[in-house]
């Protein structure tokens, strides 16, 4: 009897500790990732960030509509059918992005946001397989944010002009 | 007896006088050289790079730097960085991402001092029609030139030296001027290559290229950071090939083609390091090696990051 009574609080304590510690561990892991590799700043148009410099004090209207500003983004938007700004942007604090679970992430860690749907790509990116790497193969590697190569509002890689083909043997003088 | 006698069928020369004459002749050739430049003799009696000790290497590198400076009027540094212990280089190329833009081809030429006229390129990008029998390399297109890439219905596959673990080119060389380094890179000693091109015939990947003429490149376009076994300026009549940018990778840098690829299709790392990108690709993605059936055992892995 006494043993059972003792085990109860211990178990309860362990559970409580887990509840407190686990998010801390998860957070530490998050920070580890960003410490492990260098990521360049997000490619903002000059002068556009922080967003709050214009949006502060502006009334929030969450309904899709014709915009006075940023309509060019809405026109070229081709990411999720029926998508709208607040799927990723945060209406209350514009300087942050918002995950599906309501958590906020900074623009510097936007890969967490992209990884919500593109989990396999995020995994490959973290180990160094997806995306371009520069720097040292045995040392400091330079990563790029998803948005450094993919415009987030229309992400597929754009076609580019190839460099000239080699000289044909027949054309060598 | 006279030294030579004139007979009906020509001049008869006995052996002793022939040898004497030959010795004199050789000495005669040597005389002006003695006055001209000692480095010609040094170059003539130079050993294979792999057989030299550090002092000899130092001397040879200094001589080469002198020669290049005289020839190109710019300072060119010739290095001899050794293989890093515990490293075996491997390369990965993601065919599901390559768009065939040829940025790698030209980044390679800039880095590795290839001749521009006549043109030598170490990377060939082959274009295949989707859905056809595509490992049929002979019927691929190297000369595609559309407005934009990637093209609908086609895919591309860059081919360069596969740095075989069992390189047929090395076995074909009659002078042992080409060999595999401890870190797996197959290199050429341009001062030992006699230009017989047997290695080119032996290579199943078309990865070796011959300097049919004096390499044509403006001195100001030369990359002055070079390696003896890599991108130092070449001579007319020698064979050259991709060295995984030996002058960069032995210092820890990525090869030039890896850094040039705009889609990040090119991966590079140490095959002996279980945490390297290349090992992750081999262990988690669909991988193949080109002409694996030839038992060349390439260290160049083509993989598909999409559609595991």
Provide the 10 A C-beta neighbour count for residue B72. 16
Name every chain A residue with its beta carbon within 8 A of the beta carbon of B305.
124, 129-130
Nearest CA in chain A to B87: A138
pLDDT recorded at residue B150: 94
Name every chain B residue with its beta carbon within 8 A of the beta carbon of A172.
118-119
Average pLDDT of chain A, as a whole number? 83
Q: Which residues pair with B157 in a beta bridge?
A: B126
Q: Which residues pair with B267 in a beta bridge?
A: B92
- B155–chain A nearest CA distance, Å: 13
What CA–CA distance (Å, rounded) separates B109 from B88? 24
Buried b vs exposed e over A131-150: b needs ≥16 C-beta within 10 Å?
bbbbbebbeebebbbbbbbb
What CA–CA distance (Å, rounded) separates B58 from B65? 11
Name every chain A residue with its beta carbon within 8 A of the beta carbon of B261.
132
- A18–chain B nearest CA distance, Å: 30
Write out the DSSP string of B252-273. TBPPHHHHH-TT--EEEEETT-
Tell me the ipTM for this assembly.
0.83
pLDDT recorded at residue A34: 55
Q: Where are the domains of chain B?
A: 1-36, 89-304
Taking each continuous run of H as one helix and of E as one strand, the counts in chain A are 6, 4
Provide the 10 A C-beta neighbour count for residue B299. 22
Average pLDDT of chain B, as a whole number? 91
pTM of the model: 0.83
Is residue B184 within 8 A of residue B163, CB to CB? The reply is yes
Is residue B56 within 8 A of residue B48, CB to CB? The reply is no
Nearest CA in chain B to A143: B264
Chain centroid, CA B119 distance in Å: 15
Q: Between β-strands B239-240 and B209-210, what pairing exists: parallel, antiparallel or unpaired?
A: antiparallel
- A41–chain B nearest CA distance, Å: 18
Residue B24 CB-half CA count within 13 A: 6
pLDDT recorded at residue B308: 46
- B248–chain A nearest CA distance, Å: 10
Name every chain B residue with its beta carbon within 8 A of the beta carbon of A133.
254, 258, 264, 267, 277
- Asked whether residue B54 carries a pLDDT value surpassing 60, the answer given is yes
| A37, A143, A163: best to mutate for the B interface, most B CBs within 10 A | A163
Residue B164 dihedral angles phi and psi, to the nearest 5° = -60, 145
Please name which of B115, B157, B120, B150 lies closest in space to residue B136, comparing C-alpha atoms. Answer: B157
What CA–CA distance (Å, rounded) separates B15 from B34? 29
The two structure tokens encoding residue B32: 């002006």
pLDDT tens for each residue of B202-251: 999 999 999 999 999 999 999 999 999 999 999 999 999 999 999 999 99
CATH number assigned to the domain with residue range B89-304, chosen from the 4 options 3.40.50.2000, 1.20.1260.10, 3.30.70.20, 3.40.50.1860 = 3.30.70.20
What CA–CA distance (Å, rounded) separates A104 from A98? 5
pLDDT recorded at residue B212: 95
pLDDT mean over B27-36: 58
| B118, B253, B274: best to mutate for the A interface, most A CBs within 10 A | B253
Nearest CA in chain B to A160: B148
Provide the 10 A C-beta neighbour count for residue B86. 10
Task: Give me the residue from B143, B267, B270 closest to A166, CB to CB.
Answer: B143
pLDDT tens for each residue of B128-179: 988 877 667 888 899 999 999 999 999 999 999 999 999 999 999 999 999 9
- Asked whether residue B259 carries a pLDDT value surpassing 50, the answer given is yes
A137 CB contacts (<8 Å, ≥6 apart)? B249, B252, B253, B254, B268, B269, B270, B276
Name every chain A residue with its beta carbon within 8 A of the beta carbon of B280.
127-129
Percentage of chain B modeled with pLDDT above 70: 94
Interface of A with B (CB under 8 A): 124, 127-139, 149, 157, 159-168, 172
Chain centroid, CA A63 distance in Å: 24
Q: Establish if B259 touches chain A: CB-CB under 8 angstroms.
A: yes
The single residue listed with the structure tokens 């790079």 is B49
Q: Which residues pair with B5 in a beta bridge?
A: B12
B234 CB contacts (<8 Å, ≥6 apart)? B113, B115, B190, B211, B215, B240
Provide the 10 A C-beta neighbour count for residue B275. 10
The two structure tokens encoding residue B245: 């940018």
- B254–chain A nearest CA distance, Å: 6
- B97–chain A nearest CA distance, Å: 9
Task: Give me the residue from B103, B252, B263 closest to A138, CB to CB.
Answer: B252
pLDDT tens for each residue of A55-101: 988 888 888 888 888 998 989 999 988 889 999 999 989 999 999 99
Q: Which residues pair with B10 in a beta bridge?
A: B7
| A138, A144, A168: best to mutate for the B interface, most B CBs within 10 A | A138
3-class secondary-structure state, position A37: coil
- Asked whether residue B66 carries a pLDDT value surpassing 70, the answer given is yes
What CA–CA distance (Å, rounded) separates A81 from B204? 48
pLDDT tens for each residue of A13-44: 666 666 665 555 444 445 455 556 677 888 89
- Asked whether residue B31 carries a pLDDT value surpassing 60, the answer given is no
Asked if B101 and A139 come within 8 Å (Cβ–Cβ), the reply is no
Q: Establish if B81 touches chain A: CB-CB under 8 angstroms.
A: no
């Amino acid at each position: 009897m006494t043993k059972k009574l003792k085990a109860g609080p211990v178990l309860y304590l362990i559970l409580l500790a887990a509840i407190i510690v686990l998010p801390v561990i998860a957070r530490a892991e998050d920070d580890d990732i960003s410490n492990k590799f260098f990521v360049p700043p997000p490619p903002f148009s000059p002068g556009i960030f922080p967003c709050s410099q214009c949006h502060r004090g502006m009334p929030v209207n969450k309904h899709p509509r014709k915009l006075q500003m940023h309509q060019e983004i809405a026109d070229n938007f081709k990411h999720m059918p029926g998508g709208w700004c607040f799927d990723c942007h945060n209406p209350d604090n514009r300087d942050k992005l918002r995950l599906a679970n309501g958590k906020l992430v900074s623009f510097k860690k936007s890969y967490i946001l992209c990884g919500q749907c593109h989990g396999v790509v995020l995994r490959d990116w973290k180990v160094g397989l997806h995306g371009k790497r520069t720097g040292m193969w045995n040392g400091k590697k330079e990563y790029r944010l998803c948005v450094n190569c993919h415009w987030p509002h229309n992400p597929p890689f754009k076609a580019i002009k190839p460099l000239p083909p080699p000289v044909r043997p027949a054309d060598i003088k | 007896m006279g030294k030579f006698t004139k007979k009906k069928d020509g001049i008869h020369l006995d052996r002793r006088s022939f040898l004497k004459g030959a010795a004199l002749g050789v000495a005669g050739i040597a005389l002006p050289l003695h006055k001209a430049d000692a480095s010609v003799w040094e170059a003539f009696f130079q050993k294979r790079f792999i057989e030299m000790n550090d002092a000899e290497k130092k001397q040879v590198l200094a001589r080469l730097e002198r020669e290049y400076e005289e020839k190109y009027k710019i300072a060119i540094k010739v290095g001899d960085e050794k293989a890093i212990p515990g490293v075996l280089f491997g390369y990965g190329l993601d065919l599901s991402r390559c768009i065939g833009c040829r940025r790698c081809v030209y980044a390679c030429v800039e880095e590795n001092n290839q001749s521009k006229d006549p043109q030598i390129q170490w990377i060939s990008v082959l274009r295949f029609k989707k859905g056809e029998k595509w490992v049929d390399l002979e019927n691929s297109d190297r000369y595609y030139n559309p407005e934009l890439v990637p093209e609908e219905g086609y895919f591309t596959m860059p081919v360069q030296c596969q740095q075989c673990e069992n390189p047929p080119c090395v076995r074909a060389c009659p002078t042992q001027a080409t060999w595999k380094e401890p870190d797996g890179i197959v290199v050429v000693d341009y001062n030992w290559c006699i230009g017989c091109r047997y290695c080119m015939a032996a290579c199943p990947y078309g990865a070796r290229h011959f300097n049919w003429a004096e390499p044509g490149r403006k001195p100001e376009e030369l990359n002055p950071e070079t390696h003896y076994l890599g991108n130092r300026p070449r001579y007319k009549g020698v064979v050259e090939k991709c060295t995984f940018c030996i002058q960069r990778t032995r210092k820890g840098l990525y090869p030039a083609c890896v850094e040039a690829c705009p889609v990040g299709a090119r991966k590079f790392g140490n095959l002996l390091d279980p945490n390297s990108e290349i090992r992750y690709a081999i262990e988690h993605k669909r991988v193949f090696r080109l002409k694996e059936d030839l038992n060349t055992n390439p260290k160049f892995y083509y993989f598909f990051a999409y559609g595991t």
